[in-house]
Amino acid sequence: MKEIAIFSGSFNPIHAGHLMLASYMCEFTSVEEVWLVVSPHNPLKETGELLDDHLRLEMVKAAVAPYRKLKVSDVEFHLPRPSYTIDTLDYLTVQHPGTRFSLIIGGDNWNQLPLWKEYERLLKSYPMLIYPRPGEEVVIPEALRESVQLVDAPLLEISSTFIRRSMREGKEMRAFLPEGAYELIEKNGWYR
């Protein structure tokens, strides 16, 4: 059975930290591929500065193009909105028999999991890989340790919010962004 991990996000914009984390999961866990699922709108976040869905999708495709084990998915563009992780994973499981899907989330999201739609079924149905986030303590109950794993991924303090704010202030953010994404942002004047 193929092992694919879903890494959902607004990717507004996608940054080097996202790619480092996704690559880490492919190289240091049982995951064979990571699918970056571009979310139209996270129900737990404000839309505020959210770039158009298709522009973010284009940016993520450009960013992951050089990576063999990273794929991009627009599955949530075709599902009812708002997007809920349990619905996305259920849909993908039906569409891709013979594939075992797991979910990559940050320690911050792990600590908010009870706010998620059908979070108990999510925990029972899909393995989770949790990556550390600054200032977030991750406690995994004994009963979940078979299916929920805290991955010793590098602690990255890069955020899309930081990048957007810095770009508005006219700072050079090339080192924080994948080359393909940076080129699209510069060419189109996004986040200025």
Write out the chain's pLDDT in tens, 192 residues: 999 999 999 999 999 999 999 999 999 999 999 999 999 976 666 667 799 999 999 999 999 999 999 999 999 999 999 889 999 999 999 999 999 999 999 999 999 999 999 999 999 999 999 999 989 999 999 999 999 999 999 988 899 999 999 999 999 999 999 999 999 999 999 998
Q: Residue 107: CB partners within 8 Å, gap ≥ 6?
A: 130, 131, 132, 133, 136, 137, 138, 150
Residue 156: the pLDDT is 85
Q: In the prediction, which pLDDT does 43 show?
A: 60
pLDDT at res. 176: 97
Residues 6+ apart with CB under 8 A from 115: 44
pTM over the 0.75 mark: yes
pLDDT at residue 78 in the model: 95
Domain boundaries, the chain: 2-188
Q: What is the structure's pLDDT at 42?
A: 63
Q: Looking at residue 171, what is its pLDDT?
A: 96
What is 2-188's CATH number?
3.40.50.620
Q: What is the pLDDT of residue 133?
A: 92
